[in-house]
Structure 1
């Protein structure tokens, strides 16, 4: 039976019980009222009229003065005849009273009237007793009916009151317990409800849901636990420090390396607010201050200064950041290898400079006529040796400069210098190379006599490198513009050529170490010149840049601050 039907039956029964009780009560009251009305109207009023007439006859003297009142009561009695024999007695009283009017002192007539009035009273008194008995029987019968029906209805209502709430409350309680069990991940919980109604259907649906959840839990839980254990093992075995934060920056996990770096135990701080931890931990404070990744940090670890590359990875879910993973990748071995490489290059370059200089000097001596004449082929060989020696000398010089840059030991001798000195130094150095291709270097100066704070040797080296590249990539008989100008309290040096230019996609990498524009002849340089130039200029507080369009040429420039005495 459906729950709605049960509710309808229960409420309908209560409605019917109330209706029956009301109808029975109204009918009982109406019947008792009717019985009382009959006694009052039919008999009691007759007794009143009769007693009034007897009282008038007992009045002394009994004469014509009482006749009107007597006549009035007699007329009322004549209109209220209800019992058997009451009519004959009332007619006798009327006839005798008419005779008595002519002879008021006739005692025999008065006796007859009294006797007939007594008959009327007797008949009504007997009727009152009879009707009272009937009323009592009716009242007793209706009382019995009421008690029986009320008892029956009360018994059924009590049964409903005791059992009906349980029909609703027990299934609700059972379902509530089942839901609590599911919330606590007890998917083995089942609900047993035998009712064939909505609660029974809900119990079946609940059991089906719990069965599916239990099946899903057992089919995936072991796999999930295994994967989590494997990931935890992998993270802890990594040489990188890994720190996990949730979206509220509460700490989720640390691996062993991160524990060692921070000097903290994961079990002690898991779930704590990371900025609170940072109040007492310098490394955590430094990590949280980093607004971007791809930074290099120097951290004291393993009894020495170590280097770590910082990566900050956002964990997202449907374009919403739900956490962060901070990765500290240990790059100390690479630093050590790089330092060893730099020292090796510096040593080799320094050692090579002496024999290369000797080779160059020997080649020059071979061309000296005082030593002896050489034929044309020998002269070509000597020139080739000289060119190769120059190239090797330049490469070793660049490598030495690069080793200074990498070790951070750039030795600068900053002093006030006139830009003209740097320009003259650079143009004199490349003049021979420019003459070979019949290239003119046009110099334009707009410095207003200002000096710059710079290392003249390093800055001249940079400008020489710009001019050398411009000559290499310019066509024969071309022109190169070297311009100096005063701008924003800085003096800018620009070298503009009209060679083949550089594609825009390569401009952002032009100052990277060892980078060569694709298509450049292999013998054109090491790819270090522009990188070293940037390091020299930026070390002096300057700025370096390049502008170029393919097929139109390139403009390289740098700026240095003006000297103020």
Structure 2
């Protein structure tokens, strides 16, 4: 029996265990579901019908026409839902009493009889519900017992299989590994002996033959050269990522199996071939050698593997050396390495979609909470004491903070999916600064921070997305006001230089250490010891500015405040 057959039988056994446990579980779940549905249909609906009849019996003296009509409807439904022993006789008697009330003057004794009959039907169905519930409980108890017994037996069987079967496969592999290590240490007398009548026995024969051949070539120079070459080829082929090597003449000297499979070429079609010639008929290979003038290229490469789009990062490494007695470095070629990042890209896309969905779903309840907080603070609704006013204000501030976080997450998802939509129109620096200053006016006044503006010149026009550019400036101003001391000053400067217009926001806050400056525009990064936030504002600002062809950066010294700047092209 082959190893493949043994493994298939083992997997089939485990699959049968899963099917057995799952099937029994589904069976008992279906039984419990059926019992519950029977209780609901057979008995609970009867309780509802008789309850409606009792309710309408109280209206016989005030609105008899409507009461008789409702009672007739409920009684007819009850007659169609007779399920318990004795219920039909009670329902028939109830019909007689109802007809007597309907066609003759209403007698109080008939009304009492009607109510008594309804209560008797209810009592009969309540006892039936209790009885069926006890039956359901017994079914559940039996299901638990059977599942525990069968699950225990299957677990023991599976556990025994797991303990024994891996060793059956792994032990020969471990022995083969030890023998291969001996061969690697040039102990060519090493031999394998498997008496199993399967692939391992064939492998042992092939291994022994290989060891004999290696022993023959051990002392020859050719064998040493071939050994080194094969060792390098083995290392390259064992690599899980595609690797392609080009010599100084741009010919392909090696490509591992992963690379050949990715390019959908045969080894003869690529090895020892001139790279541009191969690229003529292979778009993927053409994209791989496109930037051969760069030592490193981390660009993303997309390729279809097994009918699925895969993403790779590409790295091109120059290979050179300085010969003995020479000063100039000789170029030996380059190596192109690809790393499959499909799983990371899929996870990143899933994360982005999750953030976008959650943020979008939070907007409606947050808007409702903001409205409720405003209504509570409105004196026209009702007055609040000091403690209630404080709590309501805190609620409003927290809801506002959550709303800001939600909007930033939505902007982040837009940025990460590459769906930044720019609406570029002619704008003036004054318009951007005025909108931003007005947006933070209340925050500045509450902290007694003065916002000073200097624009040179104010009337020049340039193309930009007004909303996104203003959003970035508002984010700068908000951060500057937050970190400025009471009665501090925030300076906004707008200047033109080298064909660019720059907006700078300077504060006199505590400043930022130099080691954190380069990380300020990373997503979710926050300088240690600063007030809590999302860490998204500056990252989104960077994307908005760079999408318009601009630059963004920061300067700061601890104890001397910080300056945040973004620049946009004038043309």
Same fold (TM over 0.5): yes
Tell me what 2:144 maps to: none
Q: Distance in 2 between matches of 1:382 and 1:494?
A: 37
Contact 2:237/2:258 (<8 A) preserved: no
Tell me what 2:470 maps to: 460
Q: Distance in 1 between matches of 2:218 and 2:467?
A: 79
Q: Distance in 2 between matches of 1:551 and 1:300?
A: 54
Q: The residue matched to 1:453 in structure 2 has which SS?
A: strand
Shift, 1:550, TM fit = 2.4
Q: Distance in 2 between matches of 1:364 and 1:339?
A: 37
Q: Does 1:391 align with 2:401?
A: yes
Alignment CA distance shift 1:228-1:560 (3 Å): closer
Q: Distance in 2 between matches of 1:491 and 1:531?
A: 21
Q: Does 1:329 align with 2:339?
A: yes
Q: Does 1:441 align with 2:447?
A: no
Q: Does 1:309 align with 2:313?
A: yes
> Structure 2: which 5+ residue stretches go unaligned?
1-216, 323-328
Q: The residue matched to 1:328 in structure 2 has which SS?
A: strand
Alignment CA distance shift 1:356-1:233 (3 Å): same
Describe how 1:313-462 pairs up with structure 2 within 5 A: 313-315=317-319, 322-462=332-472
Alignment CA distance shift 1:486-1:323 (3 Å): closer
Cα deviations across residues 238-297 of structure 1 (Å, max 9, x unaligned)?
2x3221223443312222332233232223331223233334433333222222322212
Tell me what 1:268 maps to: 269
Contact 1:416/1:452 (<8 A) preserved: yes
Tell me what 2:551 maps to: 543
Q: Does 1:295 align with 2:299?
A: yes
Cα deviations across residues 289-314 of structure 1 (Å, max 9, x unaligned)?
22232221233443344321111234
Question: Which one has the largest radius of gyration?
Answer: 1
Q: Distance in 1 between matches of 2:564 and 2:233?
A: 56
Contact 1:466/1:495 (<8 A) preserved: yes
Alignment CA distance shift 1:335-1:421 (3 Å): same
Q: Does 1:514 align with 2:518?
A: no
Shift, 1:440, TM fit = 0.4
Alignment CA distance shift 1:315-1:446 (3 Å): same
User: Which range moves more in the overlay, 313-322 or 441-450?
Assistant: 313-322
Q: Distance in 2 between matches of 1:417 and 1:534?
A: 20
Tell me what 1:278 maps to: 279
Contact 1:450/1:562 (<8 A) preserved: no
Alignment CA distance shift 1:272-1:363 (3 Å): same
Contact 2:236/2:243 (<8 A) preserved: no
Q: Distance in 1 between matches of 2:445 and 2:392?
A: 20
Q: Distance in 1 between matches of 2:274 and 2:554?
A: 47
Describe how 1:474-513 pairs up with structure 2 within 5 A: 474-513=484-523
Contact 2:301/2:312 (<8 A) preserved: yes
User: Which range moves more in the overlay, 419-428 or 273-282?
Assistant: 273-282
Q: Distance in 2 between matches of 1:229 and 1:485?
A: 60
Q: The residue matched to 2:518 in structure 1 has which SS?
A: helix
Shift, 1:494, TM fit = 0.9
Q: How many residues align?
A: 346
Alignment CA distance shift 1:218-1:283 (3 Å): closer
Cα deviations across residues 457-503 of structure 1 (Å, max 9, x unaligned)?
11111000000111112122111111112333432211111112222
Q: Distance in 1 between matches of 2:355 and 2:338?
A: 29
Q: The residue matched to 1:394 in structure 2 has which SS?
A: helix
Alignment CA distance shift 1:247-1:505 (3 Å): farther
Cα deviations across residues 136-167 of structure 1 (Å, max 9, x unaligned)?
xxxxxxxxxxxxxxxxxxxxxxxxxxxxxxxx
Tell me what 2:257 maps to: 256
Q: Distance in 2 between matches of 1:335 and 1:282?
A: 22
User: Which range moves more in the overlay, 362-371 or 245-254?
Assistant: 245-254
Q: The residue matched to 1:231 in structure 2 has which SS?
A: helix
Tell me what 1:555 maps to: 563
Alignment CA distance shift 1:214-1:343 (3 Å): closer
Contact 2:492/2:504 (<8 A) preserved: yes
Q: The residue matched to 1:289 in structure 2 has which SS?
A: coil
Alignment CA distance shift 1:390-1:403 (3 Å): same
TM-score for both structures, normalised by structure 1:
0.57
Alignment CA distance shift 1:462-1:271 (3 Å): same
Q: The residue matched to 1:393 in structure 2 has which SS?
A: helix
Q: Distance in 2 between matches of 1:298 and 1:283?
A: 8
Shift, 1:401, TM fit = 0.5
Alignment CA distance shift 1:489-1:222 (3 Å): closer
Q: Distance in 1 between matches of 2:262 and 2:435?
A: 52
> Structure 1: which 5+ residue stretches go unaligned?
1-212
Alignment CA distance shift 1:227-1:548 (3 Å): same
Q: The residue matched to 1:283 in structure 2 has which SS?
A: helix
Shift, 1:415, TM fit = 1.4
Alignment CA distance shift 1:301-1:447 (3 Å): farther
Q: The residue matched to 2:486 in structure 1 has which SS?
A: coil
Contact 2:430/2:458 (<8 A) preserved: no
Tell me what 2:246 maps to: 245
Q: RMSD between aligned alpha carbons?
A: 2.7
Shift, 1:356, TM fit = 0.9
Q: The residue matched to 1:538 in structure 2 has which SS?
A: helix
Cα deviations across residues 510-534 of structure 1 (Å, max 9, x unaligned)?
222222223333x1x2111111111
Describe how 1:36-51 pairs up with structure 2 within 5 A: none
Q: The residue matched to 1:492 in structure 2 has which SS?
A: strand
Shift, 1:442, TM fit = 0.3
